[in-house]
A and B are shown apart, each in its own frame.
Chain A
Amino acid sequence: MAGEIWLWAGAAVAAAFLAFGIDRVEPNARGAYAFRPLLVPGILLLWPLVLWRWVAVARGAEDWRARHDPPRRMHGLAAGALAVLIPVLLVSALVLRPTLSSERAPVLLEPPAGASR
């Protein structure tokens, strides 16, 4: 239910943005229509982000430094996290892996003592 509400809100934002907003905030989109359907899935999923950027661009409230400052520190954190998580996951899986029934050597069953064959 929550997912449906989210997607319906996204559909409303997509309709308004692609019909009216996009030409005002993105000069390269003026007169270009064929690519707009490709944006619909992204707007459906991320419509709050679209609204935030729409308002920010319309107000002209942008910091030039932010636009030219790629988040390089994030890569260091991500690399560190991967370097810890991946070995832990792989080693845990290989060490804890249970022996499957198909991997056990077959055992010839003997009848109980005294039982007739």
Chain B
Amino acid sequence: MSVAYTPVQWTRTKWLYDAVLAVAVIVYLWVFVTVGAAASAPTRPVDGAILNARALGSCAFFMLSAILAIGPLARFDRRFLPLLYNRRHFGVMTALVALGHAVFVLDWYFAFSPTPKLEALLSANTAVDRLIGFPFEWLGALALVILFVLAATSHDFWLSFLTPPVWKRLHGLIYLAYAAVVGHVALGALLSQTNPLFAMAVCVCAAGVAGLHLAAALGERAEAEAAGAWIAVPEAGAIAEGRARVVALPDGTRAAVFRHEGRLAAISHACAHQNGPLGEGRVIDGCVTCPWHGFQYRLEDGCSPAPFTEKVPTYRLRWREGRVEIAAEASPPGTPQEPIGAEAPA
């Protein structure tokens, strides 16, 4: 489990994931440039560099929308989980496509600028007091910087070194980047775009992402509000052997209640490695196995089997009035807990 870092932890699935992504990006760019050149009016031809910039920019927007849609979709339907697990490669590729868009824009619109191109881009328009004519380039630059920070800190090392909560807060900047990108497109391309298909696609993608995240957040909030010091584990009797039910706790954390050999035990839903979803894993050789990287934890104390040293918090369970309840407060990582029977005591 604890292994030395490599530049990229390739697996067959990741190769396939990246290959499909790369082919999809290339096909999109090719179609956009080919169709765009043919569709432009003979009296108003679009220059090749502008077409390339538009192709890369729209591609980056749709990629970012897809990245942000994967998270809530995976919460509603487990079939999206494989897309979630390899999402970081998707993000790095999006940053590179967005960089390509910026390079074409700078090299075309500011090719003969007496000041440095980037400086010219940021200083050419400073009319922040109006919506029509707002310097939408600033929003694009902000999004690009954020995408680069996220890509530069996407290696596993950063997650472990910064700790998963700090890393997740840093990567929460993706929401700011998306808002900036929508502003960049809305106040830039949408205002000068004559193709209603593009406007519709932008609106559907952006509204879809916002709607999915709102629905996921409201669902989680409703679960947490229904809790007290001890929280009922819904349908504990229906938990399949070797599987878990994830319970939202009042402090915003989540626990995973596993069934193993007719007994129930609960540990943190967040893996010590990368905060991977332990509750979506299963019990293998008596240990909960994280679906992301295979880190394992004993159910009775949340410790990895020797010689590994990782630990996760554990939770007390009890039977009350014919239902299983879990303590709202976690015990420190590695704290032994007595599993309870999966059937109600007589």
Contact = CB atoms under 8 A, between A and B. Distances in A.
A and B are partners in one complex rather than unrelated chains = yes
Interface of A: 25-32, 34-35, 38-39, 41-42, 45-46, 49-50, 53, 57, 62, 64-76, 78-83, 85-87, 89-90, 92-94, 96-98, 100, 102-103
Contact of A82 (B6, B209, B275): B209
Contacts of A65: 313, 330
B203 A82 contact: no
Given A28-B4, A78-B175, 16 more contacts: A28-B2, A38-B7, A38-B155, A42-B158, A46-B152, A53-B163, A62-B163, A64-B332, A68-B253, A68-B270, A69-B270, A72-B254, A87-B207, A98-B132, A98-B191, A100-B194
Closest 8 CB pairs of A and B: A78-B175, A79-B217, A93-B186, A79-B213, A42-B152, A41-B152, A32-B4, A76-B217
Nearest to B162: A53
Given A32-B5, A86-B207, A98-B132, A70 B187 contact: no
Interface of B: 2-7, 44, 131-132, 148-149, 152-153, 155, 157-158, 160-166, 168-170, 172, 175, 178-179, 182-183, 186-187, 190-192, 194, 199, 202-203, 206-207, 209-211, 213-214, 216-217, 220-221, 251-254, 268, 270, 272, 275, 312-313, 330, 332-333
A76 B221 contact: yes
Contacts of B312: 68
11 contacts: A28-B3, A28-B4, A35-B7, A39-B157, A41-B152, A67-B164, A69-B251, A69-B270, A75-B216, A76-B221, A90-B190
Residue of B5, B192, B216 ringed by the most chain A CB atoms within 10 A: B5
A68 B256 CA distance: 13
Contacts of A71: 165, 168-169, 172, 252
Contacts, number: 175
A49 B169 CA distance: 13
Contact of A89 (B164, B183, B268): B183
Contacts of B44: 102
A90 B163 contact: no
A52 B209 CA distance: 34
Contact of A31 (B4, B7, B158, B169): B4
A27 B186 contact: no
B217 A80 contact: yes
Given A81-B179, A97-B190, A72 B253 contact: yes
